[in-house]
Amino acid sequence: MTRFAAPIAEQIWDMKYRLKDADGLPLDASVEDSWRRVARDLASVEADPAHWEPKFYAALEDFKFLPAGRILAGAGTGRAVTLFNCFVMGTIPDSMAGIFDMLKEAALTMQQGGGIGYDFSTIRPRGAAVKGVAADASGPLSFMDVWDAMCRTIMSAGSRRGAMMATMRCDHPDIEAFITAKQDSARLRMFNLSVLITDAFMEAVKADGPWELVFDGKVYHTLNARDLWNKIMRATYDFAEPGVIFIDRINAMNNLAYLEQIAATNPCGEQPLPPYGACLLGSVNLARLVTAPFTDQARLDLAALDELVRTSVRMMDNVVDASRFPLPQQQAEAANKRRIGLGVTGLADALLMLGLRYGDDKAAAQTEAWMKAIARAAYLASVDLAREKGAFPLFDAEKYLSSGNMLQMDEDVRQAIATHGIRNALLTSIAPTGTISLYAGNVSSGIEPVFAYAYTRKVLQKDGSRTEEEVVDYAVKLWRDMKGDVALPAYFVNAQTLAPMDHVKMQAAAQKWIDSSISKTINCPVDISFDDFKDVYMAAFESGCKGCTTYRPNDVTGSVLTVSEKSEKTPETDKGAEVVYLTEPLDRPASLEGATYKLKWPGSEHAIYITVNDIVQGGHRRPFEVFINSKNMEHYAWTVALTRMISAVFRRGGDVSFVVGELKAVFDPRGGAWMAGQYIPSILAAIGGVIERHLVATGFIAGEGMGLKSDPRAEVMEMGEPPRGEACPSCGSYALRKVEGCLTCADCGHSKCSG
């Protein structure tokens, strides 16, 4: 009997969270082994591990508590990885040396897999004087380009996908350039962008008043606040960026307002963090806690919720001690404040099981009640931990109880904190759970509505072919199991049809009792008017949200693919599908299929070994990277250069078969060699021949000396029509959907931002 509710769940566990050795052989024989591994590791920091391990296992069992993917994949493996999801880096100094020190820290953090956030408001604007060098400053955007290139480099080295958030204050002199920066499709592709919106700016917008752009006390420009607001709104209406962060509200509602100032968030926005701030994530699965679903007796078991939250808080607090950190400053920050981010997933499914329509007043009230119950349980659990293990080192009872969310907390909780302290400064956050929710049986993600009741997914088989299967939402499947073919009731709504203001209502209801923030995408119809679109953001501000992210599908948003211009070949040779070229390189999956070939060049003492690895797209293999190695040190420089150049070309997609032709045409004036009865003009030509034979064997090209057999990405195009939206960088499928600010692939579960 399998614990998995759907094949996609088991596949995601196998791909992302199952412990395997260096050769890819499983060490976790079952998902129970994965749960046991995590439970044992997190219990290891307890005084009595044998007591807590079974309790932690029980919380993980049947997907009730879902630690973020980094914890599932890394805990108990013995590997030098961080279990933390979110980092905001140190304040960037306004100096060349300081800027590049920060770049180094970002690279080290990203190398371990951390998503990072940065506030670029501290860098002087473009054109400002640079004392001592008789030059003008290039501005923060030029340095953001450097960060972007660094992130690409880290990715190309085979490390985890890069994810970065860049913020800039609404009063920075370069804010207008920041707003439009990503409208250049080739720029800042590794960044999410968000504008830090102050209360003063929002008041100026409502009053249609002036707004000063200031740096270091100097006013650079004065413009109309509403004009700047409209520029932000127009950019996100047309391009889905930048997002909006209500930074004054974040700082005002921070439990640690007395000792830290926040100016940035992690890439998905649910974790506003101070310099060197770090946070880990986890979610309780509300869909697993509903009893008697779809009946008059349906309810969420509040006693079970309370127990699960208390155990989850203890597990997450232990992660602070069990985890490694990329930088010592991050470790110190985490240890001093012991921030955790406990959230939920399966909210929409749980509401459906109770007969509530996501987005209406009853569902919003129920959501607020559940979030308060979670907050109370989490804070009281942290008080119990403080009694046992001590409060977080920077705890100051008087100041803490006078700050942020503590001002609205129930009196019994406040009194418990005053008496015993609290172990964790902040405890709640709602993170993107796109991949985790699929692993848990396709429960609704985070606090999002059900994205789709069911969809068809292409499943990649070991032989490279694909089969189709239906992926059904958890609540919908439960309804079918209980009711048969009875039509879904009217209260079943999804993200495709939900009104934007219903999204805002639900986000605001959840935010009241979340002490950090929420990752949520407000889906807007393509035909929403610009004025109605702006009203969504104003409603988010007025209703107490800490930020707002929308997604309005159109011809621009999400599109990173273009179709090459038609060839001028004759019709007889132009019958195949056109080649699609990528404007940014393919992301490297965790494992690739490939082959290694030995090439012995006559007269050379050492052989050359050529490895060609492939990626599978649309059921076809295509070359992804090449490695060329030799013990002959005279070959070292050019083999390294060739490896990098060919791999870079392969990762750009399209018809890369020309690489073979170019290599085979290289002539060595010192003379070639006879190999297998054929004259080869150079060693480079011999390498080209090896690569060509590999491409023939995998079906990428039709035969030796022949061109492209078929372009995998062209298969989804209809009569030369450009692809709609972005292709998944992992599997090549056009099945990406925007969930909680993150593009997530419905076919393979790939997500840029979530663990």
**Two tokens at 149?**
């290139």
Q: Which residues are the active-site residues? A: 266, 268, 270
Question: In angstroms, what CA-CA distances link 438 with 457, 459, 695, 716?
Answer: 12, 14, 35, 24
704 is a domain residue: yes
DSSP 8-state class, residue 701: B
Check residue 131 and give its pLDDT: 80
3-12, 518-527, 668-677: the lowest-pLDDT one: 668-677
Within a domain: 634: yes
Instruction: Provide the β-strand partners of residue 701.
Output: 708
pLDDT of residue 739: 60
Q: Contact at 8 Å (CB) between 301 and 64?
A: no
Cα 314 to chain centroid distance, Å, stands at 25
pLDDT in tens, 248-288: 999 999 999 999 999 999 999 999 999 999 989 999 999 99
Position 674 confidence tier, pLDDT thresholds 50, 70, 90: confident
DSSP per-residue string spanning 546-596: SEE-EE---SSTT--EEEPPPP-S-GGG--SPPPEEESSPPPPPS--EEEE
pLDDT for the residue 187? 87
State the total domains in the chain: 2
Residue 715 is predicted with a pLDDT of 34
Rg (CA), the chain: 27
Give tens-digit pLDDT for 183-201. 887 789 889 999 999 999 9
Residue 273's DSSP bridge partners are 264
Cβ–Cβ < 8 Å for 578, 714: yes
Query: Which among 243, 260, 286 is the end of a domain?
Result: 243
Alpha-helical (H) ranges within 112-208 are 140-156, 175-180, 199-207
- The rounded Cα 254 to chain-centroid distance in angstroms is 24
Per-residue pLDDT of 552-562, as tens digits, reads 887 665 422 22
- Alpha-carbon distance of 126 to 141, in angstroms, equals 8
How far is 745 from 733, CA to CA, in rounded Å?
8
pLDDT above 60 (res 524):
yes
pLDDT at residue number 680 = 87
In this prediction, residue 303 carries a pLDDT of: 98
- What pLDDT, in 10s, does the model give residues 2-51? 799 888 899 889 989 999 998 889 999 999 999 999 999 999 999 999 99
pLDDT at 603 over 90: no
Highest mean pLDDT among 299-303, 453-457, 605-609: 299-303
The first and second tokens of residue 313, run together, are 């808080």
Residue 709 has a pLDDT of 43
**Mean per-residue pLDDT, 566-575:** 32
pLDDT at 565: 31
pTM given for the model: 0.77
- pLDDT per residue as tens digits for the range 124-180: 999 998 887 767 899 999 999 999 888 877 765 444 556 899 999 999 999 999 999
Of 302-311, 333-342, 466-475, the least confident: 466-475
427, 340 in Cβ contact below 8 A?
Answer: yes
Write down the mean pLDDT value for the chain.
86
Q: Is residue 155 part of a domain?
A: yes
Residue 266 lies in a domain: no
Write down the pLDDT at residue 535. 97
Burial of 644 (0-12, 13-18, 19+ CB in 10 A): middle
End residue of a domain, out of 226, 243, 260: 243
Q: Which two tokens stand for residue 114?
A: 């951390």
Q: What percent of the chain has pLDDT over 90?
A: 60
Determine if the peptide bond prior to 242 is cis (ω within 30°): yes
Exposed, middle or buried: residue 486 (CB in 10 Å: 0-12, 13-18, 19+)?
exposed
Concatenated DSSP letters of 246-288: EHHHHHHT-TTTTT----EE-TTSS-EE-TT-EEEEEEEEGGG
pLDDT for 569 equals: 33
The pLDDT assigned to 346 comes to 97
Confidence at residue 564, expressed as pLDDT on a 0 to 100 scale? 28
Long-range contacts of 626-630 (CB under 8 A, 24+ apart): 626/650, 626/691, 628/687, 630/606
Query: How many residues are present in the chain?
Result: 755
Domain interval for residue 623: 566-716
In a domain, 426, yes or no: no
112 or 199: which leads in pLDDT: 199
Highest mean pLDDT among 550-554, 652-656, 737-741: 550-554
Give me the mean pLDDT over the 339-356 stretch.
Answer: 97
The band of 56, judged by pLDDT with boundaries at 50, 70 and 90, is very high
> Is position 206 within any domain?
yes
Is residue 618 scored above 80 in pLDDT?
Answer: no
pLDDT (mean) for 578-600 = 65
477 occurs within a structural domain: no
Q: Please, are residues 372 and 393 in contact by the beta-carbon 8 Å criterion?
A: no
Q: Binning pLDDT at 50, 70 and 90, where does residue 357 land?
A: very high
Domain boundary among 227, 243, 259: 243
pLDDT at 208 over 90: yes
- Say if residue 625 is exposed, middle or buried (CB neighbours under 10 Å; 0-12, 13-18, 19+): buried
Structure tokens at 715: 């298969």
For residue 245, pLDDT beyond 80? yes
Give which of 244, 215, 202 is closest to 140, Cα–Cα: 215
pLDDT at 574: 31
Closest of 732, 736, 459 to residue 616, by C-alpha: 732
Cα separation, 187 vs 151, in Å, equals 13
Burial class (CB in 10 A: 0-12, 13-18, 19+), 170: buried
Contact (Cβ atoms closer than 8 angstroms) between residue 673 and residue 604: no
Return the beta strands (E) in 72-122 as ranges: 86-88, 115-119
The pLDDT value recorded for residue 736 is 65
Q: What is the pLDDT of residues 392-427, one digit of tens each?
A: 999 999 999 999 999 999 999 999 999 999 999 999
Average pLDDT for residues 207-215, to the nearest whole number? Answer: 98
In a domain, 533, yes or no: no
3-state secondary structure of 443: coil
